[in-house]
Amino acid sequence: MRKFIDAILTPAKQAKALGANQWQRWFLQSEHRFTITGLSRSGKSMLFTSLMTVLKYRSEEQYQCLPLLRFLPMELVDKMWLEPLGNLPLFPVQEHIKDLEAGHWPPATESVAGFKLVVRLRQAHQLKKYLLPYTDVVFEFIDYPGEWLTDLPMLGKSYTQWSDSAWAQQMNAPQQRYAKSWHDCVNAFDFEQPPTPDRIMQLVDAYRRYLQEAKSQGISMLQPGSFLIPGSGFDFTQQGFTPLPSRISSDVASPWTQCFTQHFDAFKQQWLTRLKKDTFRQTDKQIILVDLFEGLNHSRSHLYQLRETLSHLADTFVYGNENWFKRNVLQQQGIAKVAFVATKSDLVPVGQRDALLSLLKDVTRGATARFKDGEVQFEHFLVSAIQATDEGSHDNALRYMNHEGRYMEAEFEALPPDLKSMPAEEHYPVLPAAVPPDYLARILNGKGLDRLLQFLLEK
């Protein structure tokens, strides 16, 4: 693997050493920024791993998967290479491939990483002369922990607004099922005592335990998600806060409301503002990955809260940046593109893919309703970063390797095509597919990324 990454990076180093004419490059270069967004466990890192692997084979071994052949024809491309992205650590593709090699899925991401793909087009190609004004086309990709994403909508709220909405959410299913000890802790808490570091930590600890439990039970609305992983650098032991019942949060004279308001504002200023600027820079194409399996695995109310979470996020990405969108994106291409993508589609048999797509449309309904002005074009499709399963003996069956390394066949019931047709008491267990030993062939030959590559490469 070291050889692989060196081989990709060496041409970049050489190009720099040659002292390429900066002025010329500035005019000839077109940057394309893609944000691949997704909640925790939605499949971002695995998708990046596959994308980089597919691109590596394209650039080094001249091995082409179909959409690359169609949208980036070999004779149009002089060369392509991967570069680090600004000061960000390089996406750890080697470690992830090592994990797959050892039969493990890559671990959950705890800090940001990125890479840049530069495609240099051939000057002489007909298509290039007539259609493409640029010589170097740059694609930027950033990976980050999903927990950070969920926090962005907090930027637009005051402490009291956030606290009230978080509290209301915890009172409803499915969150309520996991919030009992946290609520017991608050009910027994004496808010007449002034906030001291010890008392604050007592609340923050109980609240974090709730967030952790809810996360392990498939809840996506977890704020602040940044309190769950170390990477943010925001010190919640010093400036922690939690939501409070509205009898406290609405009392602006309460020392607790004042203290948490102060800490909440520090969280926004010291962490979220920077995070949004550095990691979630606005992009010309936005890809929102959605894992439907976690919700299906738990309950219908899990899918309802996923829908709610996604519609909160759509606000942050599109409407929160309306001016930026108008200035930069709409002027250039007339329309901004957003794709809602259901990941891990290899976990359902072909006969259930239509139902999965239809469920995706229903779960993202709240988010797409916000794009109705026509300036944002959106589409829905399915991907799989790796084809981990095989066809079964009929259309509603799949074969896969389980965690004991045994090759199994699973039968599927019909998936609900929308939320209302999912019975409240039922759930659909997710297929426990392990990493197959021939993972590399299954990344390169699977058709799971075709649609995504098409979305990325189309003008």
Ligand X SMILES: Nc1nc2c(ncn2[C@@H]2O[C@H](COP(=O)(O)OP(=O)(O)OP(=O)(O)O)[C@@H](O)[C@H]2O)c(=O)[nH]1
Question: Of 40, 282, 321, 352, which one interacts with ligand X (CB under 6 A)?
Answer: 40
- 42 contact, one of Mg ion, ligand X, none, CB 5-8 Å limit per kind: ligand X
Instruction: Quote the least distance from Cβ 7 to ligand X, whole Å.
Output: 25
Residue 392 in the binding site for ligand X (CB under 6 A): no
Tell me the longest C-alpha to C-alpha distance in the chain.
77
The piece of 103-111, 153-161, 167-175, 252-260 that touches Mg ion (CB under 5 A) is: 103-111
Residue 106 in the binding site for ligand X (CB under 6 A): yes
Question: Of 313, 385, 452, 456, which one interacts with ligand X (CB under 6 A)?
Answer: 385
| Contacting residues for 266 by C-beta, under 8 A, at least 6 apart | 239
426, 152, 113, 143: which is closest to 277 by C-alpha? Answer: 152
Site for ligand X in 298-357 (CB under 6 A): 343-344, 346-347
The piece of 106-114, 275-283, 317-325, 430-438 that touches Mg ion (CB under 5 A) is: 106-114
Using CA atoms, how far apart are residues 220 and 335, in angstroms rounded to an integer? 30
Residue 43 in the binding site for ligand X (CB under 6 A): yes
Alpha-carbon dihedral sign for residues 197, 200, 202, 208 = negative
- Is residue 363 within 8 Å of 419, Cβ to Cβ? yes
Neighbours of 281 (CB within 10 A): 13
Residue 145 in the binding site for ligand X (CB under 6 A): yes
Residue 305 in the binding site for Mg ion (CB under 5 A): no
Cis peptide leading into 174, omega within 30 of 0?
yes
Question: Of 8, 34, 35, 45, which one interacts with ligand X (CB under 6 A)?
Answer: 45
Six token digits for residue 431: 């297929």
DSSP structure class, residue 90: B
Residue 226 in the binding site for ligand X (CB under 6 A): no
Binding mask 11-50 for Mg ion (x = CB under 5 A): ---------------------------------xx-----
Using CA atoms, how far apart are residues 425 and 328, in angstroms rounded to an integer? 47
Nearer to ligand X, 347 or 376 (CB): 347
Residue 294 in the binding site for ligand X (CB under 6 A): no
Nearer to ligand X, 255 or 437 (CB): 437
Nearer to ligand X, 68 or 149 (CB): 149
Using CA atoms, how far apart are residues 192 and 326, in angstroms rounded to an integer? 49
The piece of 44-52, 187-195, 211-219, 318-326 that touches ligand X (CB under 6 A) is: 44-52
Using CA atoms, how far apart are residues 387 and 408, in angstroms rounded to an integer? 15
Instruction: Quote the least distance from Cβ 251 to Mg ion, whole Å.
Output: 40
The three-state (H, E, C) secondary structure of 359-416, written as one string: HHHHHCHHHHHHHCCCCEEEEEEECCCCCCCEECCCCCEEEEECCCCCEEEEECCCCC
Six token digits for residue 52: 């980089």
- Is residue 341 within 8 Å of 382, Cβ to Cβ? yes
Residue 290 in the binding site for ligand X (CB under 6 A): no
The piece of 56-64, 102-110, 147-155, 200-208 that touches Mg ion (CB under 5 A) is: 102-110
Residue 150 in the binding site for Mg ion (CB under 5 A): no
Six token digits for residue 128: 């290039």
Q: Is 209 exposed, middle or buried, given 0-12, 13-18 or 19+ CB atoms closer than 10 A?
A: middle
Nearer to ligand X, 151 or 346 (CB): 346
Residue 100 in the binding site for ligand X (CB under 6 A): no
Neighbours of 208 (CB within 10 A): 18
Six token digits for residue 346: 């290899």
Instruction: Quote the least distance from Cβ 113 to Mg ion, whole Å.
Output: 9
- 116 contact, one of Mg ion, ligand X, none, CB 5-8 Å limit per kind: none
Nearer to ligand X, 248 or 388 (CB): 388
Question: Of 49, 109, 364, 387, which one interacts with Mg ion (CB under 5 A)?
Answer: 109
Instruction: Quote the least distance from Cβ 230 to ligand X, whole Å.
Output: 13
Which residues make up the interface to ligand X (CB under 6 A)? 38, 40-46, 105-106, 108-109, 145-146, 343-344, 346-347, 384-386, 388, 433
Which residues make up the interface to Mg ion (CB under 5 A)? 44-45, 109
